[in-house]
Amino acid sequence: MSAPSLQPPPAAATRILDRIEALARVSEQPDGLTRIYLSPQHAQANALVGGWMREAGLAVHVDAAGNLVGRREGERPGLPCLMLGSHLDSVRNAGRYDGMLGVLTAIECVAALGPRPLPFAIEVVGFGDEEGVRFQATMLGSRAVAGTFDPALLDLRDAGGTTMREAMAAFGLDPSAVGSAARRREDVLAYVEYHIEQGPVLEAEGLPVGVVTAINGQQRFRIQVDGMAGHSGTVPMRLRQDALAAAAECVLAAERIAAGLPDAVATVGQLAPSPGATNVIPGRAVFSLDVRSPRDADRMRVAAAIVDECRAIATRRRVAIDIAQTHELSSCACAAWLQDQVAAAIAADGHRVLALPSGAGHDAMAMVALTDVAMLFLRCRDGISHHPAEAITAEDAATGARVLQAFIERFEPRA
């Protein structure tokens, strides 16, 4: 990363970073950041960020899916909008920039526009769910806005057994009205998301920002293995049906299979054996599986091979296996006309334009069902993300804000 500027960071970057700190304190646990969909912390974040939106002159509401939406009218009320934003939820024990930086920077850019009317409206959205931590299905907020939220998802349960339907009602939403969060195609000119890169490429290139070409597709599964619990001291090894041992073999199979195709990745990030006692053979193991690739055909091939192998392992080990796909999103291309405009804003700020793909998922993948999308990436320290060590410099925060501002000011809707 470049040496920190000796100049004090501009006021906009200072305000963005101060707000990032304040928002990071809205967390399930006091010593780290965890903020999941439809939680009390989600409501607190909407209230806090909604206040900053109002200060920036935006008219604010929470939509039928719990997304926070701020709108600035254009030359006359009701014009189609340029939609900016990202998500306000986090993974468990998260970094504080993933998602939040894009929302708070967009608010700052809108504030900097002042009263000058533009020939289009601007909306800043803080999506309620991108990470999918609570219900396994991801991008619930942006899917609702894009009109692709499947009402069957309302029956998904969180780890505590609460359905999404119940969680929405507890949040003050009407689960039967989620569809009304969907926006009309003619009302949205484009969706542009500013986000930390979450990888090491920009840092390695010595660049603060880059323009995204495409986002890798992804699939997620919930896999449950049922064997037989028993006494750890009395059941001989040859007579066991250990669900955790079977799951462990599945984890290694996923690693091996994904490693066999270039650019494909597979991750088991959750694994819960039960009943969970030192002296009891695990009778059940439930684990997650996340598979990604820039090429959808490869991703599907890897996922299918892992699923087949998990079934074969279960048969050989005489355990039952239930494999449910909870989520699938195709890879998403960023629109060339929008990439050109993001690239022009980067160049106008004096940087070489680097175009790069995104390995991480983003709300833009859901929004592409509604409108053309593009992304501006900001470098982050050591490429670390989904970790409390996620970091950016104040100088880079200022650069990202300037570039996004330049993009907004020069934005030309597609002819």
| Binding region for ligand GLV (CB under 6 A) | 131, 360-361
E strand or H helix at 392? none
Q: Which is nearer to Mn ion, 196 or 406 (CB)?
A: 196
Q: Give the shortest CB-389-to-ligand GLV separation in angstroms.
A: 16
Q: Let me know: does 356 contact 212? Beta carbons within 8 Å.
A: yes
E strand or H helix at 384? none
Among ligand GLV, Mn ion, none, residue 298 binds (CB under 5-8 Å by kind): none
Tell me the C-alpha distance between 88 and 33, whole Å: 11
Among ligand GLV, Mn ion, none, residue 361 binds (CB under 5-8 Å by kind): ligand GLV
Q: Which is nearer to Mn ion, 88 or 154 (CB)?
A: 88
Among ligand GLV, Mn ion, none, residue 283 binds (CB under 5-8 Å by kind): none
Q: Give the shortest CB-360-to-ligand GLV separation in angstroms.
A: 4
Q: How many residues bind Mn ion (CB under 5 A)?
A: 2
The owner of tokens 């599964």 is 221
Residues 6+ apart with CB under 8 A from 226: 243, 283, 284, 319, 320, 321, 322
Q: Which is nearer to Mn ion, 193 or 298 (CB)?
A: 193
Distances (CA, A) of 160 to 34, 135, 166, 334: 16, 10, 12, 37
Residue nearest to ligand GLV (CB): 361
Q: Which is nearer to ligand GLV, 208 or 361 (CB)?
A: 361
Among Mn ion, ligand GLV, none, residue 334 binds (CB under 5-8 Å by kind): none
Query: What is the 3-state secondary structure of 98-144?
Result: CCHHHHHHHHHHHHHHCCCCCCCEEEEEEECCCCCCCCCCCCHHHHH
Identify the bridge partners of residue 69 per DSSP, sorted by sequence position.
Answer: 61, 125
Among Mn ion, ligand GLV, none, residue 50 binds (CB under 5-8 Å by kind): none
**199 belongs to the binding site for Mn ion (CB under 5 A):** no
Binding test (CB under 5 A) with Mn ion, winner from 99, 128, 208, 217: 99
Candidates 77-85, 99-107, 152-160, 330-338 — which segment interacts with Mn ion by CB under 5 A? 99-107
Q: Which is nearer to ligand GLV, 80 or 217 (CB)?
A: 217
Q: Which is nearer to Mn ion, 99 or 294 (CB)?
A: 99
E strand or H helix at 83? strand 81-87
Q: Give the shortest CB-25-to-ligand GLV separation in angstroms.
A: 21
Residue 310's Cα: distance from chain center in Å?
Answer: 27
Tell me the C-alpha distance between 203 and 74, whole Å: 37
Q: Let me know: does 383 contact 360? Beta carbons within 8 Å.
A: no
Binding test (CB under 5 A) with Mn ion, winner from 35, 52, 80, 98: 98
Q: Give the shortest CB-91-to-Mn ion separation in angstroms.
A: 6
Q: Let me know: does 54 contact 47? Beta carbons within 8 Å.
A: no
Q: Let me know: does 175 contact 164? Beta carbons within 8 Å.
A: yes
Q: Structure tokens of 180?
A: 């009304």
Q: Which is nearer to ligand GLV, 290 or 396 (CB)?
A: 290
Identify the bridge partners of residue 218 per DSSP, sorted by sequence position.
Answer: 292, 329
Q: Give the shortest CB-98-to-Mn ion separation in angstroms.
A: 4
Q: Which is nearer to ligand GLV, 27 or 241 (CB)?
A: 27
Judged by the rule CB under 5 A, the positions of this chain that interact with Mn ion are 98-99
